[in-house]
């Protein structure tokens, strides 16, 4: 049963011409009696006479199809409508009621799981971002797993009164009271009705039914965005120094929408709904799921409402790279953030019995090295299971690994769990080798056993040694923290890549930011690995993902909002994008860790964020809500579909010709249909894009230079010609 339909856009072979002008330059298969959660979008303007309040109308509509169903949430800001638990038959019947725009099934989203300020130039550029009262009035809202309020990163020493604009609350619940908030952490809410109606009541012995973060992810993202300065921070001695968020003087409001079983769209919408009403200035969402048309995407719809209220919404691009078309959160009113590396590493070398040494990375805390050379074995040869090489629970033979270092292949189960499996079987250490899926990208982990991670190339070399030497031995040497790693940044392998699968003419991701081995605050309820058997407790943790890069941009957006309070969300994003860099300071194009070659706009978007340059972009590409609605007209959305996004009636003018190419976006991709490229040899082809620039700096004259570079087709059934432009003030 299809509850809402749209005319699909034809996918064909095409050539993409990617232009970056840098300023500086459902189908629901459920039983008819089985109940599921649905989000019902209402045309509020069509409320019949006789209803004093729209909630009464919503309730009446629900009662007309079900005498037992109850509303989980009523939405007033992010969308107009409600969430309820219905059978498929009831949902279909409700879809046919007057004033119903759409009935969408609940979707489950997943989390996309210090030195960063120095790497971004914020430590030596504080004068560029004055510590004014305006900065203390900026509020960053974070939708995630909650907050650990005792973290030193939420110290409110030196903060003035809570901004008068704030309308939020600090809700009480399991292990959490209103007293846990302060002048830094000014708000905390939780939303679990969608989760509980699907998976049952929350087990409070395992997770807190409150804003408290028992996972760590939410505390990490919120402190990355806007944590206070904490001196002497580290993870088990690694990455020691001063930890701080991007916007240290901004306020933080958390909205717990993610639980052990995932993040459900009805809860996410409820969090967005409250955050808008609470008057946050920036919203950070390090979560995502599969892509769908904008009028069916709960995050996209909620983000549109936030954008209309002047709230910038920053979302993670996803961790499904390096596959093409793997992006999440691609709506043009969302700032989509990919991940790059820092210039910091945590080397841990594998020394083999044949005298060869191979570099890896690790956050293991214990002896500086294993005391001596130990017997070395490949997990695949120490198991009777076909997947024994992966070191999954119960696959290793204790007699074969006791007292030995074990080489495990990466994949399927968590990296840190593999070390736990080796330890449980009596192993003395582990070397974790990447496979082709991860290439030579290295991500450090706080293993429970002496262990290091190595790239695919190194792993293959070590395996050759294991098969050629009758008595292989090895040891692991840990060397702490190293900085100044070059080249950096490089695009992370896991960072999701374009093209944009929903609208190919909108280039995504928008930008990349630090997302590998990031130090930030952590929960006191879980160890750094997150494993049940990890009884260590730390104040800070180092983890990786676009979940980490997203709050970097959220915090930087807060800095810009404090310094330029009159800028719109589109102007702030434009400033971040058009001042981003794609060339290293000493020359050479930004690299992709997967290929070791220059990355492309499908990988890095506009480039790597440069917050100091973003403060003075000169010119910006600005956008208003109606510009985005005209964009939806260009996609041939129906009035009902546009209303689902806009929350108000909006009709596309029949006399006007709408074009995706007219959206005033800071970057764009020109899609040439196959028939046009096939005929290009006999003549020329052209597609027109229109942009309008707004001066936000002093008067000046700008000169545009455009450089073309033909890039590899990348087996995407397309080729791409990048024209990088530089607009210089004269």
Task: Give the residue numbers marked as catalytic.
Answer: 144, 217, 547
Tokens for 465, please give them: 């040694």
- For the chain, the residue count is 730
For 486, the 3-state DSSP assignment is coil
CA–CA separation, 264 and 441 (whole Å): 31
Q: Are strands 335-340 and 511-514 parallel, antiparallel or unpaired?
A: parallel
Q: Are strands 405-409 and 429-433 parallel, antiparallel or unpaired?
A: parallel
Tokens for 11, please give them: 């996918």
303: Cβ–Cβ under 8 A, 6 or more apart, which residues?
A: 272, 283, 313, 315, 331, 333, 334
Best CA proximity match to 436, nearest among 345, 324, 322, 340: 322
CA–CA separation, 200 and 689 (whole Å): 51
Burial class (CB in 10 A: 0-12, 13-18, 19+), 596: exposed
Q: Which helix H or strand E contains 16, and what residues bound it? A: strand 14-23
> Chain centroid to CA 521: how far?
17
Contact of 40 with 92, CB cutoff 8 Å: no
CA–CA separation, 431 and 256 (whole Å): 36
Region at 175 (left for phi over 0; alpha for psi -120 to 50; beta for the rest): left
Q: DSSP labels for 321-336?
A: TTSTT------TTSEE
Q: DSSP labels for 445-465?
A: ---SSSEEEE-HHHHHHHHHH
DSSP designation for 129: S
Q: Are strands 694-695 and 720-729 parallel, antiparallel or unpaired?
A: unpaired
238: Cβ–Cβ under 8 A, 6 or more apart, which residues?
A: 346, 363, 365, 444, 480, 481, 519, 542
Q: DSSP labels for 46-89?
A: GPPTT-SSHHHHHHHHHHTT-SS--EEEEESSS-SEEEEEEEHH
Tokens for 658, please give them: 């709408």
- Count Cβ atoms below 10 Å from residue 453 Cβ, excluding itself: 29
DSSP designation for 10: P
Within 513-637, residue ranges assigned H as helices are 546-563, 569-578, 601-604, 611-614, 625-634
* Sheet of 429-433, strand order: 357-358, 348-352, 473-478, 374-378, 405-409, 429-433, 451-454
Contacts 24+ apart (CB under 8 A), 206-209: 206/260, 207/259, 207/260, 208/146, 208/173, 208/174, 208/175, 208/176, 208/525, 209/173, 209/174
CA–CA separation, 376 and 163 (whole Å): 60
Strand partners, 295: none
Contacts 24+ apart (CB under 8 A), 649-652: 649/43, 649/45
CA–CA separation, 53 and 58 (whole Å): 9
CA–CA separation, 524 and 543 (whole Å): 16
């Amino acid at each position: 049963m299809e509850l809402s339909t749209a005319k699909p856009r034809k996918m064909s072979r095409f050539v993409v011409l990617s232009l970056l002008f840098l300023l500086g330059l459902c189908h629901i298969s459920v039983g008819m009696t089985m109940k599921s959660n649905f989000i019902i979008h209402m045309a509020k303007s069509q409320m019949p006479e006789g209803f004093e309040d729209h909630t009464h109308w919503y309730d009446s509509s629900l009662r007309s199809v079900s005498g037992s169903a109850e509303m989980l949430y009523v939405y007033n800001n992010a969308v107009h409508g409600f969430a309820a638990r219905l059978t498929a038959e009831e949902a279909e019947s409700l879809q046919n009621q007057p004033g119903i725009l759409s009935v969408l099934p609940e979707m489950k989203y997943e989390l996309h799981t210090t030195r960063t300020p120095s790497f971004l130039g914020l430590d030596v550029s504080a004068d560029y971002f004055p510590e004014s009262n305006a900065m203390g009035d900026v509020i960053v809202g974070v939708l995630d797993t909650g907050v650990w309020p005792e973290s030193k990163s939420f110290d409110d020493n030196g903060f003035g009164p809570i901004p008068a604009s704030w309308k939020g609350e600090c809700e009480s619940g399991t292990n959490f009271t209103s007293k846990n908030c302060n002048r830094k952490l000014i708000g905390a809410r939780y939303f679990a009705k969608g989760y509980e109606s699907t998976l049952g009541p929350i087990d409070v012995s395992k997770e807190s039914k409150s804003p408290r973060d028992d996972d760590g992810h939410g505390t990490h993202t919120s402190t990355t965005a806007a944590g206070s300065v904490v001196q002497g921070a580290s993870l088990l001695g690694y990455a020691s120094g001063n930890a701080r968020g991007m916007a240290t003087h901004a306020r933080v409001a958390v909205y717990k929408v993610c639980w052990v079983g995932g993040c459900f769209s009805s809860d996410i919408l409820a969090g967005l709904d409250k955050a808008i009403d609470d008057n946050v200035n920036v919203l950070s969402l390090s979560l995502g799921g599969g892509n769908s048309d904008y009028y069916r995407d709960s995050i996209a719809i909620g983000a549109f409402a936030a954008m209309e209220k002047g709230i910038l919404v920053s979302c993670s691009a996803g961790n499904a790279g390096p596959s093409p078309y793997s992006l999440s959160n691609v709506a043009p009113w969302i700032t989509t953030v990919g991940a790059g590396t820092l210039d910091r590493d945590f080397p841990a070398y594998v020394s083999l019995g044949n005298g060869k040494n191979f570099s890896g990375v690790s956050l293991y805390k214990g002896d500086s090295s294993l005391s001596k050379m130990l017997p070395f074995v490949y997990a695949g040869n120490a198991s009777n299971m076909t997947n024994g090489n992966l070191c999954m629970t119960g696959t290793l033979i204790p007699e074969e690994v006791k007292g030995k270092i074990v080489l495990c292949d990466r994949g399927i189960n968590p990296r840190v769990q593999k070390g736990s499996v080796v330890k449980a079987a009596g192993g003395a250490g582990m070397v974790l080798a990447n496979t082709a899926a991860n290439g030579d990208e290295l991500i450090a982990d706080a293993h429970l056993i002496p262990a290091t991670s190595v790239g695919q190339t190194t792993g293959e070399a070590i395996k050759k040694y294991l098969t050629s030497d009758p008595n292989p031995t090895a040891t692991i040497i840990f060397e702490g923290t190293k900085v100044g790693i070059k080249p950096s940044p490089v695009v992370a392998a896991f960072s999701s890549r374009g093209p944009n699968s929903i609208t190919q003419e909108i280039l995504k991701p928008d930008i990349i930011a630090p997302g590998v081995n990031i130090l930030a605050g952590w929960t006191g309820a879980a160890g750094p690995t997150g494993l049940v058997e990890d009884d260590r407790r730390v104040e800070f943790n180092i983890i990786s993902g676009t979940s980490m890069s997203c709050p970097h941009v959220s915090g930087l957006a807060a800095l810009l909002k404090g310094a330029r309070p009159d800028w719109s969300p589109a102007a702030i994003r434009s400033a971040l994008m058009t001042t981003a860099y794609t060339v290293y300071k000493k020359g050479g194009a930004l690299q992709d860790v997967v290929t070791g070659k220059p990355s492309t706009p499908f990988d890095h978007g506009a480039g790597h964020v440069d917050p100091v340059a973003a403060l003075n972009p000169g010119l910006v590409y600005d956008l208003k809500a109606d510009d985005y609605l005209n964009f939806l007209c260009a996609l041939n959305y129906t009035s009902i579909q546009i209303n689902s996004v806009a929350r108000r009636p909006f009709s596309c003018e029949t006399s006007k010709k709408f074009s995706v190419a007219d959206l005033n976006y800071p970057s764009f991709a020109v899609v040439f249909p196959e028939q046009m490229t096939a005929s290009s040899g006999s003549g020329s082809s052209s597609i027109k894009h229109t942009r309008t620039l707004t001066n936000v700096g002093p008067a000046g004259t700008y000169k545009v230079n455009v450089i073309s570079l033909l890039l590899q087709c990348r087996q995407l059934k397309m080729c791409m010609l990048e024209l990088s432009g530089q607009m210089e003030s004269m």
